[in-house]
Amino acid sequence: MARIAQSSIEQVVAAADMVEVVGQYTDLKKAGANFSGRCPFHEERTPSFSVNPAEKLYYCFGCGVGGNLIGFVMAKENMDFPEAVEHLADKYGIALEFEESSARGDADRRARERLRALLEQATAYYERVYHDAKAAAPAREYLTARGLSDEVCRAFRVGYSLPGWEKLREAALAKGFGEQDLLDAGLVIPGKRGRPYDRFRGRIMFPLGDERGRTLGFGARTLGDEKPKYLNSPETPLYHKSEALFGLDKAKAVARQEDRVYVVEGYTDVMALAQAGVANVVASMGTALTDQQLGRMSRLTRNVYLCYDADAAGIGAMQRALTLGRRMNLSLHVVRIPDGLDPADYVLAGAGGDGFRALAADAQTLLQFHVRLALATHDLDKPDGRARAFARLREVLSEAATPMERDDELRYVADKLQLSAESVRYLLSGGGRPVTGPATGGSQGTSSRSGGSAVAPGGAHELEVRFLAGCLAQPGPGREALAGVDEGFFATAETRAALRRVKERLAAGGGGNTTPSAEDQAVTDDGAEAFAEVIVRAGRERFTATVVKELFLRLQEAQVGRLIGRLKVTMRSDDTGKQGEELARLEGVRRSLREALRAIPVDEQDAD
């Protein structure tokens, strides 16, 4: 595919107002050189999110997420880099130019644009047929009988495919599209004699779109006994079933606002809930929830509420979701619909949106659901039943997000079985081995596209980014201090990458207020979030030459401490040779650094 010209990217970055872009997701207030507000990536009461409008960078001191203008759009709108640039270009009226590329690359770009145009035309065609054609009367009657209004059907662009074999094909050819276009879009199937015929015939059509509402493919429901009951578009250059979520474009704004999204199985569930005033709903179109689908939802919120049937397929999907959710740091809940109803039947039968919200208010966490299910589905009065139950509980509790959550469920199991917590812990361990759970130490870094947590504040990470921020804020002392350190003084790949970018900026004569280039706005390395934090801190905190000196000394002390720790691990207790001499030397260096720190005037020291 052709690349967007660098000059166009620079135009977009220059034209875009960072405060305006971010302000769509959270209220921002002026705070010195920066703007601050509540973080749009996690729930918080006290604002810890900061935006540097000159640098067009953001950072949250609460969850550690950070990055640049384009990275912010990528994270919040679940777009890749070119899509985010195009989104901003549309918003600010910039006509994009593309670099010279191969003929094949240009052809691929044109082909994708042509497929989008064809799918839009097909969506409009199916809509017209649904609303106007006599042959579509059974489809209209079916959805009306389900309780769905014409208004909600129009909002979700519901359509109908005529029973004939070539109705859509003929309409598309008349519009100037070719046979290959129709094949590439998944709208026709090659015939045995070479003449393609319509893939969808006599079915209710549900457009499957991206976050911007652009049709990528279709889901289609038969009104008769034809198999399969539901038929989706095949894999195409635009449509990928593992990523598809019905209703995402309509759910995203409210999902961000309420900080939760509901996941149902079917199209009519989404439409019925939307009609009842619950807009933050998407359908996974079955129960096989994928990590790609969860990833798209995680751009909107970390709180996902599953509204699946409690049958074998639904329970299997929720077990997979438990594993995926833990890996992706999502908070997963289960909304139980009573009396074996699906969400559409429940709200349309009279419960309405308020009734559904009441169920959601009582939702169990996904871990609680699986623990209670394990207890309810095994005969605990029989030895083999207890053995199977505890084997299942061991498996489930290993997916607990935190030791606290696991311990809460251990206490619940103990209370339910009228045993002591210690006895339950022993039984669950399989005979004295501790119940395993997720590791709690360390840190997890994520790209700015993910919107997830970066290295937790504090410790080496905080010292390193504050040192770099001080170097930018005080370029003279900063250059002098940076000459005395290398990447070995930095504990993580993220801060080492940020060090390189700070050195490049200072070498070019820039300080903390230099406008970033378009390349800075691309997410190109693991240090994007750490560098954003450096920039935000440089504009937010008070740095003096003395503070930079203190941070430089602390950085050296931390490095010496790491070297001492490594040496102690490798040397024997009776070592009096070279390793012992090196240890004594390093201890002396550390004492000297501490004395130098104590000598810094108290009124100028940077508070820890």
258 shares its domain with 290: yes
221 vs 520: CA distance, rounded Å = 47
Share of the chain above pLDDT 90, in %: 34
Assigned domain for 390 exists: no
CA atoms within 13 A on the CB side of 402: 7
Q: Are strands 197-198 and 188-189 parallel, antiparallel or unpaired?
A: antiparallel
**pLDDT tens-digit map of 323-380:** 787 778 788 898 988 877 889 999 998 889 999 999 999 998 888 888 888 888 788 7
Question: Which segments of 299-363 are extended strands (E)?
Answer: 303-306, 331-334
Q: What is the three-class DSSP state of 250?
A: helix
For residue 515, count other CB atoms closer than 10 A to its CB: 11
Q: Which amino acid belongs to residue 366?
A: L
pLDDT band at 541 (very low <50, low <70, confident <90, very high): confident
Q: Tens of pLDDT along 426-457?
A: 667 654 333 333 333 333 333 333 333 222 33
Q: Are residues 291 and 320 in the same domain?
A: yes
Same domain, 261 and 343: yes
What is the total count of domains within the chain?
A: 4
Q: Report yes or no on 359 lying in a domain.
A: yes
Assigned domain for 224 exists:
yes
Same structural domain for residues 234 and 291?
A: no
Residue 353's pLDDT is 93
* Same domain, yes or no: 136 and 159: yes
Query: What does the block give as tokens for 421?
Result: 């917590």
Domain extent, residue 504, equals 459-604
- pLDDT of 106 > 70? The answer is no
Can you tell me the mean pLDDT for 459-485? Answer: 89
Query: Rounded to 5 degrees, what are φ and ψ at 151?
Result: -65, -45
> Crossing angle of helices 69-77/81-92, nearest 10°?
100
Structure confidence at residue 433 (pLDDT): 35
Residues 493 and 585 in one domain: yes
* Residue 351 falls inside a structural domain: yes
Query: Can you tell me which residue has the tokens 């030459």?
Result: 545
Residue 375 lies in a domain: no
Tell me the C-alpha to C-alpha distance, in Å, between residue 39 and each of 50, 182, 254, 521.
8, 44, 16, 20
Mean pLDDT of all residues in 49-54: 91
Q: Taking a C-beta distance cutoff of 8 angstroms, is the pair 147, 272 a contact?
A: yes
How is 261-298 classified by DSSP, letter by letter? Answer: EEEESSHHHHHHHHHTT---EEE-SSS---HHHHHHHH
On whether both 158 and 220 belong to a single domain, the answer is: yes
Listed residues 342, 369, 396: the one ending a domain: 369
Whether 270 and 330 share a structural domain? yes
Please indicate, yes or no, if residue 447 is contained in any of the structural domains: no
Paired tokens of 47: 């604002």
- Greatest mean pLDDT among 137-151, 518-532, 575-589 lies in 137-151
Closest CA to 51 of 26, 76, 75: 26
* 422 inside domain: no
**CATH number of the domain that residue 187 is part of:** 3.90.980.10
pLDDT tens digits for range 182-223: 999 999 999 877 789 999 999 999 999 988 889 999 999 999
Residues 175-184 as b/e (b if ≥16 CB within 10 A, e otherwise) read eebeeebbbb
Mean pLDDT for all residues in the chain = 82
Whether 469 and 583 map to the same domain: the answer is yes
**Backbone Cα Rg of the chain:** 29
Token output for 19: 């405060």
Given 45, 69, 92, the domain boundary residue is 92
The full 3-state SS of 392-416, as one line of letters, equals HHHHHHCCCCCHHHHHHHHHHHHHH
Count other Cβ atoms within 10 Å, centred on residue 513. 14
* pLDDT the model gives residue 290: 84
Say which range, 69-83, 328-342, 428-442, 517-531, has the weakest mean pLDDT.
Answer: 428-442
Q: Are residues 30 and 112 in the same domain?
A: no
Q: Are 219 and 285 contained in the same domain?
A: no
* DSSP state, residue 347: I
Residue labelled with tokens 């623990």: 371
Provide CB contacts within 8 A for 156, sequence distance 6+: 206, 207, 247, 250, 267, 270, 271, 274
pTM listed for this prediction: 0.60
The confidence score (pLDDT) of residue 126 equals 97
| Element holding 231 (H helix, E strand) | strand 230-232
Alpha carbons 261 and 294: distance in angstroms, whole number:
11
Q: How does residue 160 score in pLDDT terms, banded at 50, 70 and 90?
A: very high
Confidence at 416, pLDDT banded by 50, 70, 90:
confident
Contact 529, 68 (CB under 8 A): no
Is pLDDT of 118 > 90?
Answer: yes
| Residue where a domain terminates, one of 308, 340, 369 | 369
Closest CA to 389 of 398, 380, 399: 380
Q: Clarify whether residues 109 and 234 are in a common domain.
A: yes
Question: Which one is predicted more confidently, 550 or 130?
Answer: 130
